[in-house]
Structure 1
Amino acid sequence: MVMIRPFKAYRPRKDVAHKVAALPYDVMDSDEAREIVKDNMYSFLHIDKAEVDLPKTIDIYDRRVYEKAKENLKSFIENGILIEDSKSILYIYRLIMDRRVQTGIVACSSIDDYLTNNIKKHEKTREDKELDRINHVNICGAHTGPIFLTYRDKEEINKLVEEITSEEPNVDFLAEDGVEHIVWCVSNKDRINTLVSLFKEVPCTYIADGHHRAASAVKVGELRRDLVRSYKGDEEFNYFLSVLFPSSDLKIMDYNRVVKDLNGLTANELLEKVKEKFDVEKAYGSFKPREKHVFGMYLNKEWYKIRAKEDTFQDTVLEALDVSILQNNLLCPILGINDPRTDKRIDFVGGIRGLKELERLGDKYNGVAFALYPTTIDELMNIADNGEVMPPKSTWFEPKLRSGLFIHKLD
């Protein structure tokens, strides 16, 4: 049983929604964020990455950054950039990228569902990243970025969402990256109650993206429960901002790797070692894998097609993931990447950036780059169902949900 509930969102004024909406804070660094906000006073990055309004020398984890975020959020509200809805409702959020449509329900999810694993995870989190968002949420008193959840399709939900989205939307704009963002407000009480009831029939949801934000939202909720002690359960801090998408709508892109050196090997020595576990074939031109267990390897300005031999993995969902095969048979034993979560010698490159970016980085570092076949959404859900954890950076979702379109206040 999945618990969702309506809430009174703060949302951008319709005429500036396209200027407010911003990519998630964690897909860019501070310099990139400063460039984006330079000519946009409305950008939500003034709240999500508030260091853009402070000296460049400041540590991004300095308390002054979170206080500035709180100040900017208050200013956005006082100046009418963000306006609170008059009553608790649900929302439908649709993104269209390259004619591919994904449509989710914006609601508050229960921190208890997270704590009881009714919201399933597939990644480990890092303490420093959690602490950053704990401070941001707690000091701002708001969830400013939604957690991206998915669930196995339920026909009755799909039908009701289709009915709602056949009507005139409340917000519709095309972002600078060509992604269209559309919002419908679901204010009809019968529709709200129906959606809430239908989700009670959904066995569980899965975190698609936003593990750190989810963990942080839950820990803030627990902190506030401790302060209140005799909390009732209906306080806003017991819930966090989420968008729930049916799994059939989602597409996972490849998440590729670049290693910045050859671990003391020559290119020829590396090739010989790779051949122990992979069938290696020179490619003519760039090579993008089209099937599981096949990888593209860019080395010394040349592309190779490498296919994992049958004895390189066990027949389990986790071990058969291409990210696991590459890590266990090549990155760790040959290139010495023991912990890809912390090793500074490895970079991760989202598939949206293309093979040219892998070539650029491979040449820059005189290292080696790997193009992977994407993890599937079914693999993600099966691994979460088994209580297992994927290797880091296993999934890259596009399009990215925009921050600033919905804000959930805790106070």
Structure 2
Amino acid sequence: MIEIRPFKGFRPKEGLEGKIACKPYDVITYDEALEEGRDNPLSFLHIIRSEIDLPLDTDPYSQQVYDKAKENLEEFLSKGYLIEEEKRNFYIYRQIMDGRIQDGLVACASIDDYARGTIKRHELTRVDKEEDRVNHFYTVGGNTEPVFLFHKKNGDIKAFIKDWIENHQPVYDFSSQDGVRQVLWIVDDEGAQAELVKLFKSLDSLYIADGHHRTASAYKVGLKKREENPKYTGGEEFNYFLSVIFSEDELYIMPYNRLVKDLNGYRQEEFLERVKEKFVVEALKELEEPKKKGQFTLAFKDKAYKLIPRDGTYKQDDPIESLDPSILQNNILGPILGIEDPRTSHRIDFVGGVGMLDKIKAGLEEDKVAFLLYPTDIGDIIRVSDEGKIMPPKSTWFEPKLMSGLFIHKF
């Protein structure tokens, strides 16, 4: 049984949504955030990446940064850039990219569901990244960005969303800088809200698509607030966190590729000979993405190869070892290139999202090597999550990303 509830949130004043909305804090570099923030004083980056408003040498994890985020949020509220809703609402959030549509429900999810494992994860988190968002959420007093969740296909939920969209006008309808159309409807009818709550109670679980650190951080903030309020009832806002919940069949997963900065002392010919021990290696005329699961593209600056694992390279019936990121890690990145922990290694970069082939080509200098992977299947995420296991780091890249700044949950 999944608990969701509407919330009395904050959102952009109508007409400002296109100025305020921005990419999530963790998919944009400091330099990109600095440039966008300089050009746009209304960008929500001034809140989620508030270090751009401080001196260049400021530690991005210092309390000064979190205090600046709070100050900027309060300024957005006081100047009317963000408005407070008069009552609790759900929202329906539609994104349209290249003709593909995904419709999600904006709602507050329960930290207790996360604690008991009915909101399921598939990635490990890093303590430093968790603490960053803990300090941010705690200082600003709310969830400034949503977690990207999904559920298994459910005809009743899909029918509700379809009916609401067809019979109501959106409050926002604009295209973000990346060309994705962003549309938002308010679900303010209490009867409709009660129906949604009931529909989600019929679900056994939700799954984290994107935002494992935000989820873990929201949970830790909730526990911290409970310690500060020992007479808490469970109904306080800090017991819930901001989320957007989609159906599994509407999501689009793109490849998450690897760019390694050196060959660990090997010459190209020596490196390829090592790779051939576990893979059939076929030369390609040009750089291309893998055509199916279980195939890889290996690329140097001026050469590209197709890799096909030899029989016995991995356990085909193992839900983790049979994942393409695992096959690559266990047979090339770890034993040959010496990258034992890709989460912490400075020798590897991860390249995903729109325009990734151009990014790969631009990054391929001498002695660098890239690996292109086939996208992870949503069914693999569900299977791994249901078994309580963890995928290799950077196994999934969901696109489009949820925009930040369109809805805020204060506690």
Interval containing the TM-score (normalised by the shorter chain) = over 0.9
Give the superposition deviation at 1:183.
Answer: 0.3
Give the superposition deviation at 1:356.
Answer: 2.6
Aligned to 1:78: 78
Aligned to 2:116: 116
Give the superposition deviation at 1:351.
Answer: 4.0
Give the superposition deviation at 1:300.
Answer: 4.5
Matches within 5 A, 1:3-402: 3-166=3-166, 167-314=168-315, 315-363=317-365, 366-402=367-403
Alpha-carbon distance between aligned partners in 2 of 1:183 and 1:216, rounded to the nearest angstrom: 26
- 1:110-156: CA deviation from partner (whole Å, max 9, x where unpaired): 00000000100000000000000000000000100000000001100
Gap regions ≥5 residues in structure 2: none
Alpha-carbon distance between aligned partners in 1 of 2:205 and 2:337, rounded to the nearest angstrom: 39
Q: Is the 8 A contact 2:284 2:306 kept in 1?
A: yes
| Residues 1:300 and 1:406: Cα distance change in structure 2 (over 3 Å) | closer
State the AA in 1 paired with 2:121.
Answer: K
Q: Is the 8 A contact 1:3 1:113 kept in 2?
A: yes
Alpha-carbon distance between aligned partners in 2 of 1:230 and 1:7, rounded to the nearest angstrom: 22
SS in 2 for 1:160: helix
State the AA in 1 paired with 2:134.
Answer: I
Task: Report how many aligned residue pairs link the two structures.
Answer: 409
Q: Is the 8 A contact 1:89 1:186 kept in 2?
A: yes
SS in 2 for 1:403: coil
Alpha-carbon distance between aligned partners in 1 of 2:373 and 2:389, rounded to the nearest angstrom: 21
Q: Is the 8 A contact 1:301 1:359 kept in 2?
A: no
Q: Is the 8 A contact 1:93 1:104 kept in 2?
A: yes
SS in 1 for 2:72: helix
Q: Is the 8 A contact 1:255 1:394 kept in 2?
A: yes
Q: Is the 8 A contact 1:3 1:199 kept in 2?
A: yes
Q: Percent identity?
A: 51
State the AA in 2 paired with 1:210.
Answer: G
Alpha-carbon distance between aligned partners in 1 of 2:196 and 2:89, rounded to the nearest angstrom: 11
Give the superposition deviation at 1:355.
Answer: 1.9
SS in 2 for 1:312: coil
Gap regions ≥5 residues in structure 1: none
SS in 1 for 2:364: helix
Alpha-carbon distance between aligned partners in 2 of 1:3 and 1:10, rounded to the nearest angstrom: 21
Query: Which has the higher mean CA deviation after the structures are superposed, 256-265 or 350-359?
Result: 350-359
Give the superposition deviation at 1:192.
Answer: 0.5
- Length-normalised TM-score, structure 1: 0.98
- 1:64-111: CA deviation from partner (whole Å, max 9, x where unpaired): 110000000001011111101100011000100001000000000000
| Residues 1:302 and 1:351: Cα distance change in structure 2 (over 3 Å) | farther
State the AA in 2 paired with 1:310.
Answer: D
